[in-house]
Amino acid sequence: MIRINENFLSMEKNYLFIDIAKRLAAYTAAHPDKPLIRMGIGDVTLPLAPAVVTAMKKAADEMGVKETFRGYEDSGAGYAFLREAISGYYKTLGADVSTDEIRVNDGAKSDCGNITDIFSRDNTVLMTDPVYPVYADSNRMAGRNILYADSDESNGFAAMPDKYVRADIIYLCSPNNPTGSVYTKEQLEKWVAYALVSEAVIIYDSAYEAFITDPSIPRSIYCIEGAKRCAIEMCSLSKTAGFTGVRCGYTVIPDELVVKASDGRDVKLADLWARRQGSKFNGVSYPVQRAAEAVFTEEGQRQIRENIHYYQRNAMVIANTLDELGIKYTGGINSPYIWLKCPGGMGSWEFFDYLLDKVQVVGTPGEGFGRNGCGWFRLTSFNSYENTVEAMARLKTLDI
Ligand code: PLP
């Protein structure tokens, strides 16, 4: 008789966005004359950069000509032209990553979830709370023991390692979704030192690195000495270049990242991952890889920067409003997310309903991302400038 993976049964349903949708539908039905402003959007809203569109179209044309048509890509790791472009980009971040340490993927979410395939079920996993839900869910599905490092007001939502906690796999995300907090160089050095001492592996999600404006904040874990011996980095073009619907990202597993098998053999994690991807993943389409390559050209970088600046300006509008209202928050600078403390001691859902009812502004209740999100609320900078300004003007009319 077929048996299911019973780990799924112990996973609570992800009600957050379903609950939000229900409350919004009920409100709109009761108040059709009151338009909502959605400030909880997790998707980008600006279109692709022209250089990206041109490259994608050219590649699509090549696919229609016998001489330039491409089928399966031999390596499965991504075309050399794209991996070289990514490697060159890493140099500009101050990190040395070679082309053969990079594997191209269809976005960071897949790899964040699938990477667990190469690790034994017995590993203890450490992640921050609040957290991007994919890390927790993929490890729950595999039945792994998860420990949480509290990210809260006391540490600026940037949890640090605790030498008394033993972990094998550590998830870090900076700039963080949902809290918008970033790790400083010194903080990352501590995490790397902790991972090296514990012989643990850090899975570092840098999906929002392009939003970092402070030059002292590392945009890659590989800016930290020793990180290549203990960290895997996952990055994405989704938020950087509007690829949420195009789908392209990349994972770096350094050559130096070697762990001991139970028989004492040294095993390169990159080899295990290549084996896993070789069996279960057939690569990213040629037009998408050409589009991604265009992101890393001078022209592409200039164009995507314009879009990022647009979101950063929105974030600034939100941050300035919260400053004016005396509401505490993290993020906004170096991040498209603004994580605010619900005023007047309100709970996250209470504040959600309050904003919806009073000013028709929609955000995301923090408790959907973990228990430390109770009493906190996530706004994003992905709406239009005009809507962001209007939403903040509405906030200022509140008695909070
Ligand atoms: N990592 C973080 C922290 C995210 O917030 C997201 C998307 O919202 C992703 C990874 C996944 O991005 P994608 O699969 O679109 O590359």
pLDDT value of residue 15: 76
| Residue 324 Cα to ligand 1 middle (Å) | 31
- The pLDDT profile of the chain, 400 residues, written as one tens digit per residue, is 999 999 999 887 777 888 999 999 999 999 999 999 999 988 999 999 999 999 999 999 999 999 999 999 988 999 999 999 999 999 999 999 999 999 999 999 999 999 999 999 999 999 999 999 999 999 999 999 999 999 999 999 999 999 889 999 999 999 999 999 999 999 999 999 999 999 999 999 999 999 999 999 999 999 999 999 999 999 999 999 999 999 999 999 999 999 999 999 999 999 999 999 999 999 999 999 999 999 999 999 999 999 999 999 999 999 999 999 999 999 999 999 999 999 999 999 999 999 999 999 999 999 999 999 999 999 999 999 999 999 999 999 998 8
Testing ligand 1's pocket by substitution, the residue of 16, 104, 238 carrying the most ligand atoms inside 8 A of its CB is: 238
Cβ of 177 closer than 6 Å to ligand 1, yes or no, is yes
Map out the domains of the chain with their CATH numbers: 7-47+300-396 (3.90.1150.10), 50-297 (3.40.640.10)
Q: What residues form DSSP beta bridges with 205? A: 173, 234
Q: State the Cα–Cα distance between residues 250 and 204, nearest whole angstrom.
A: 12
Closest to 242 in 3D by CA, of 40, 38, 45: 45
pTM for this prediction: 0.97
For 144-207, the three-class secondary structure string (H helix, E strand, C coil) is: CEEEEEECCHHHCCCCCCCCCCCCCEEEEECCCCCCCCCCCHHHHHHHHHHHHHHCCEEEEECC
Assign 259 to helix, strand or coil.
strand
pLDDT value of residue 95: 98
| Residue 264 Cα to ligand 1 middle (Å) | 36
Count of all residues that appear for the chain in the document: 400
Q: State the Cα–Cα distance between residues 119 and 51, nearest whole angstrom.
A: 39
Q: State the Cα–Cα distance between residues 179 and 231, nearest whole angstrom.
A: 22
Quick check: 134 and 110 in contact, CB under 8 A? no
List Cα–Cα distances, 63 to 49, 69, 73, 176, 291, in angstroms: 21, 4, 13, 38, 14
Cβ of 243 closer than 6 Å to ligand 1, yes or no, is no
Cβ of 107 closer than 6 Å to ligand 1, yes or no, is yes
Q: Which amino acid type is present at position 214?
A: D
Q: Which amino acid type is present at position 1?
A: M
